[in-house]
Structure formats: C-alpha cells, structure tokens
C-alpha cells in the first residue's frame, strides 16, 4: 500500500508545492481508497504506470459528489496584472478543468528576422471540479504537475479514470482564429462553444516556463474569453494558472511549424 502511494507522490515533486499544506492534501487525497488490489503488488510495474495525477480528482470527492459552485470563491483573478474581470454574477460555474496539450506555432523560414506566430492549440480537458471546490491550493499546482507528466493515455493511466474525468477537447476553428471548447464526447454531451479573447494578462513571473520547470520559453497568458458572435454553450471561459506553452522569442533554429507543451486550468461558465 505504501509503495503504491509513494509512487504518485514522487511524481508530485515536493519542490513545486509552495506550501507544505498542498503536499499534505495531495497525500491525504491519495491515501483515500488506496489498496493493494488497485495498485498492484510491489512487483507490478504495469499497474504502477496506471496511476496518474487524474487520480487526485477521482479521490477528491469522498462522497462521490461535491458543490462545484464553492470553487468560485477560490478563483484567483488578481495574481496577474491587470487582474482579470470577475465572471458576471448571473453566470453559473459549469466545470473546472485541467487542460493538457500543445500550443502550435509557425515560423517563416524565408525571413531571417521572423518571430513565431501562434497557430492554434490542442488540449484535452479533464474535470477537476471537486478538487477545485475542496482543495484550491492543490488545483493551482496541477497544471505544473500535468505538464511534467505525459498526456494521459491508456498506457499510463487507468482507462476507467480517463473515462470518468475526460470532459472534452479545446482546439481552434475558422482557420485557427477562434478558440473552441467541445465537451461532447462519445461518453457524454455537455455542449460546445466558440469563444473570443476579451482580456489577456501575462502569467505571474514565477509561472513555470516548461516541463521540469526548465525546458521551455514561458507560460502562456491568463485569459478571459467571452462568447464568439455565433455563440454556443459557454458564457465565459477563463484560462488560469498556466504552465508552459510560450514560443521562443525568435525563429532561429526553429522548424516551419512546431508545438510547445502546456497545461492550464480552464473554468467554463454557463
């Protein structure tokens, strides 16, 4: 039991936790329902690989449910300058997700002074609403944790956990000009919507620049998105606590198209 529990905690690199409190809540959450059957015996490396940070959300809700709206009071929009405007009072929080994927860029290789130009993004969104409501300090560290670990697949994460938490996908439409949040999957129909950027603020100076806190160029901006003209399901989407995703400052040594890994919280309101 201890062996299994230690494995994920190791992945949670203690140094990235600002407060000992965060580490405590991670340990406490991971202890819940932990047992040898689920984790495999000490010699079972296959089952060890099937534990991932997604487990934190699965175990956050002791009762299997939680009051998602409680998360709003912990939404910190003032850590950036200028602070992002709060969601309008008549909006309801639909879901707090962790997005993990890549920001895409292109470089004009025929131009010696060209700089990378954003060309969309692709991320998978996971429902972390209970963790957001109950363990906000830990939630704010999750983009950093997610960035250090591979994108969850059946190879590294229990497929049942992925099935329970995968909310949908974030990508761009209209020739990569319009951010889109598609929360319809084979498993559920939560809705979808096209958004437009309303407010953007640089990530805090201590934001994680890339995987392992080193191999990257910076954290993408925090955003407040509002419905695009053709609308959709979401009345507001916030991108917060970003980790990684920024491009290098110039195109020297870059290919014509490349991807930069990133992770972030996405808060969706209806």
Ligand X SMILES: *[C@@H]1O[C@H](CO)[C@@H](O)[C@H](O)[C@H]1NC(C)=O
Interface ranges with ligand X (CB under 6 A): 61, 65-66, 68, 82, 85, 95, 104, 111, 113-115, 120, 122, 127, 129-130, 153, 155, 171, 190, 198-199, 248-250, 252, 257-259
56 versus 208: smaller Cβ distance to ligand X: 56
Report, in Å, the least distance between residue 197 CB and ligand X: 9
Three-state DSSP class for residue 217:
coil
6 versus 153: smaller Cβ distance to ligand X: 153
Report, in Å, the least distance between residue 58 CB and ligand X: 8
16 versus 173: smaller Cβ distance to ligand X: 173
Asked whether 230 and 177 are in contact (CB, 8 A), the reply is: no
13 versus 68: smaller Cβ distance to ligand X: 68
- N-to-C CA span, the chain: 41
Nearest CA to 256 out of 146, 107, 125 is that of 107
Asked whether 168 and 183 are in contact (CB, 8 A), the reply is: yes
| Residues 6+ positions from 7 with CB-CB distance below 8 Å | 39, 48, 51
Nearest CA to 259 out of 221, 217, 225 is that of 217
54 versus 130: smaller Cβ distance to ligand X: 130
Beta strands in the chain (DSSP E): 93-106, 117-127, 166-173, 178-184, 189-201, 222-232, 236-244, 257-269
Report, in Å, the least distance between residue 14 CB and ligand X: 26
Report, in Å, the least distance between residue 13 CB and ligand X: 23
Output the six-digit token pair for 54. Answer: 């997604």
Three-state DSSP class for residue 76:
coil
Report, in Å, the least distance between residue 202 CB and ligand X: 12
16 versus 185: smaller Cβ distance to ligand X: 185
Report, in Å, the least distance between residue 201 CB and ligand X: 8
Asked whether 223 and 196 are in contact (CB, 8 A), the reply is: no
């Amino acid at each position: 039991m201890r062996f299994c529990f230690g494995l994920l905690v190791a992945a949670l690199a203690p140094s990235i936790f600002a407060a000992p409190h965060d580490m405590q809540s991670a340990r406490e959450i991971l202890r819940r329902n932990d047992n040898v059957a689920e984790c495999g015996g000490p010699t079972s490396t296959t089952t060890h690989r099937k534990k991932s940070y997604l487990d934190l959300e699965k175990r956050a809700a002791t009762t299997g449910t939680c009051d998602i709206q409680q998360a709003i009071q912990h939404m910190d929009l003032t850590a950036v300058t200028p602070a992002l405007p709060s969601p309008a009072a008549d909006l309801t929080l639909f879901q707090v997700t962790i997005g993990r994927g890549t920001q895409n860029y292109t470089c004009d290789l025929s131009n010696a002074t060209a700089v990378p130009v954003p060309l969309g993004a692709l991320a998978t969104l996971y429902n972390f609403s209970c963790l957001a409501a109950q363990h906000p300090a830990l939630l704010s560290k999750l983009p950093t944790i997610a960035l250090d670990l591979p994108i969850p697949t059946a190879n590294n994460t229990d497929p049942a956990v992925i099935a329970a938490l995968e909310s949908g996908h974030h990508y761009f439409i209209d020739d990569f000009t319009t951010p889109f949040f598609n929360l319809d999957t084979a498993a559920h129909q939560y809705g979808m919507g096209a958004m437009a950027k309303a407010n953007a603020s640089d990530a805090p100076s201590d934001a994680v620049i890339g995987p392992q806190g080193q191999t990257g160029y910076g954290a993408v901006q925090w955003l407040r998105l509002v419905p695009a003209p053709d609308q959709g399901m979401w009345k507001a989407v916030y991108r917060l606590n970003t980790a990684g995703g920024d491009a290098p400052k110039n195109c020297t040594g870059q290919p014509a198209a490349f991807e930069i890994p990133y992770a972030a919280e996405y808060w969706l309101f209806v």
